[in-house]
Structures are given as C-alpha cells and as structure tokens.
C-alpha cells in the first residue's frame, strides 16, 4: 500500500478511535471501480438520512477525500512533496438534531476533526499533519446538507530511486556500433526509428554485440535491471 493510500486509511481510523465519533459515520472516499464512487456516496447518504444508524444515531457523516500532492521545491531529489488532504463533514440538521440524530452540529464535528488530526503523524509520512490556514471551510455546494471541509497539509520526501546508469553509444565506426552501460548485468535495448528503447516495443532491439548502421540515423538506447529504475535514454546521431 502506498503512503498516500495508507494516509487516507489512517485518518479515517484515527477518527474512528475517538469516542466523539462513536455515533458518526466515518468513510474513506477512494473508489477503485467505476460504480464504487456511487456506492460510497450511497452509504454516506444513508448515514446522513438516518437510514443506517451507528450506535443508534445518524444525521451526520465525515469522509476522507483522496490526498493531493504538489512538488513546491524545484529540482529536489525524490521529489519532496507537499501533501494536502481534506476531511469533509456533513449533516442534515433536521435529522441530525432529531430523535435519532447525533445532536452534534457540523461545526462541532469539524472542530473535533481538527483536534484529532492536527499534529498527527501518519504511518509512512515524513512529517506531522498540520491544520491548513483555511482549516475549516464551509460549502454551499451540497444543499440541504451543511458542509465543512477540514484541510490539512504535511511534507513527505520520496526516496530517490536507484537508477541504471545511462548507456554510452560509440558510433565512430558505423559498421560496428558499440553500446555499453556502467551498471553491471544491465539489459540494453536500442532503436533506430526514434521510438523509446524498451522491452515490449517491437522496434526495440536487445543489444548483444556491435552492429552496423547506415548513416544518417539516430540511435536511442536505454538500460534496465530488475529492482532498479530504468536509465535515462542515450542517443547518438550518426
């Protein structure tokens, strides 16, 4: 599971662990199939409309939206990501304040979300989550639901992957072009038609011995090895 998937799941579990949310539906909004988004929204609406009760209560729900990731720092290895995540709080006041309702307003729920998540350090993320400047933002987009978005941000540095060395193409003798790679036991593919040199490309040739070309031609070469990121692509015009 990726760090972003784990983050979304952990935030929902963090809220579920708090007594305040014992009667409030908590959901992860991450559809994996075409119809799943509708199914998740249907479950949220069932909680909001008191059709499905949690510990005998309904009328309010919170759900964790999929995280966003920006790369604010140019040319940083990894790269270093600024991750933002939104937890949406909704209630239908007429039901939420009724006999089967939680009696907890969207504002109260939003403040509890901020307290539960602010300074939380999720598994696999480099730094703690911080409440955003616009920490609790109301929305009029979903009538008759009262809606607030609680927003958080954190930083996470992705590890710099180990990469195969860029191949070197020696075409000084067109009748015997030589391609080498400094990474031991790397597999090298080359193309002569300008396409990407990789396994699975019908135009790519697995390099094994020096080969002849007819000038003018552009040779592109890439090197690959299991458990390493593929090399940058070398090219030579002969």
CB 78 within 8 A of CB 159: yes
pLDDT at 1 (0 to 100): 75
Q: Which of 135, 157, 179 is the last residue of a domain?
A: 157
Q: Say whether both 175 and 98 belong to one domain.
A: no
Q: Say whether both 89 and 101 belong to one domain.
A: yes
* pLDDT tens per residue, range 86-96: 999 999 999 99
Residue 15: pLDDT band with limits 50, 70, 90: very high
Q: Say whether both 138 and 185 belong to one domain.
A: no
What is the gyration radius of the CA atoms in the chain, in angstroms?
27
Residues contacting 109, CB < 8 A, separation 6+? 20, 24, 60, 62, 89, 91, 148
Q: Say whether both 213 and 127 belong to one domain.
A: no
Residue 123: pLDDT band with limits 50, 70, 90: confident
pLDDT at 218 (0 to 100): 94
Q: Give the mean model confidence (pLDDT) for residues 197-221.
A: 95
Q: Say whether both 112 and 12 belong to one domain.
A: yes
Q: Say whether both 131 and 181 belong to one domain.
A: no
**CA angle in degrees (0–180, nearest 5) for 149-151-154:** 165
Q: Say whether both 200 and 84 belong to one domain.
A: no
More confident residue, 64 or 123: 64
Q: Which of 99, 129, 157 is the last residue of a domain?
A: 157
pLDDT at 3 (0 to 100): 84
Residue 221: pLDDT band with limits 50, 70, 90: very high
The domain in which residue 213 lies consists of: 161-238
* pLDDT tens per residue, range 169-191: 998 888 999 999 999 999 999 99
Q: Say whether both 29 and 116 belong to one domain.
A: yes
Query: Residue 110: is its pLDDT beyond 80?
Result: yes
Q: In what order do the strands lie in the sheet with 205-206?
A: 205-206, 187-191, 218-224, 234-237
Q: Say whether both 44 and 147 belong to one domain.
A: yes
Name the most confidently modeled range: 27-36, 76-85, 135-144: 135-144
pLDDT at 236 (0 to 100): 94
Strands (E), 17-108: 25-28, 60-64, 68-70, 80-91
pTM of the model: 0.78
DSSP state at residue 127: S
**Which CATH number is 221's domain given?**
2.60.40
Count the domains in the chain.
2
Query: Residue 75: is its pLDDT beyond 80?
Result: no
**Which CATH number is 40's domain given?**
3.30.2000.10
Q: Say whether both 148 and 211 belong to one domain.
A: no
Q: Which of 122, 157, 192 is the last residue of a domain?
A: 157
Q: Say whether both 149 and 180 belong to one domain.
A: no
Q: Say whether both 97 and 215 belong to one domain.
A: no
Q: Give the mean model confidence (pLDDT) for residues 54-81.
A: 88
């Amino acid at each position: 599971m990726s760090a972003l998937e784990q983050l979304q799941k952990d935030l929902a579990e963090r809220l579920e662990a708090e007594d305040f949310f014992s009667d409030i539906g908590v959901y992860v909004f991450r559809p994996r199939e075409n119809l799943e988004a509708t199914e998740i929204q249907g479950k949220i609406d069932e909680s909001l409309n008191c059709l499905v009760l949690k510990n005998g209560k309904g009328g309010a729900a919170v759900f964790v939206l999929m995280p966003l990731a920006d790369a604010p720092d140019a040319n940083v290895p990894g790269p270093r990501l600024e991750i933002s995540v939104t937890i949406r709080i909704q209630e239908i006041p007429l039901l939420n304040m009724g006999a089967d309702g939680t009696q907890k307003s969207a504002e109260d729920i939003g403040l509890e979300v901020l307290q539960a998540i602010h300074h939380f350090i999720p598994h696999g993320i480099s730094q703690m989550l911080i409440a955003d400047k616009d920490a609790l933002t109301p929305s009029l987009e979903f009538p008759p639901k009262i809606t607030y978005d609680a927003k958080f941000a954190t930083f996470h540095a992705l590890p710099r992957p180990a990469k195969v060395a860029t191949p070197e193409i020696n075409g000084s003798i067109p009748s015997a072009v030589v391609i080498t790679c400094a990474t031991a036991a790397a597999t090298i593919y080359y193309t002569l038609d300008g396409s990407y040199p990789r396994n699975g490309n019908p135009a790519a040739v697995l390099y094994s011995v020096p080969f002849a070309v007819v000038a003018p031609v552009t040779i592109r070469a890439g090197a690959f090895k299991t458990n390493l990121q593929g090399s940058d692509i070398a090219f030579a015009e002969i």
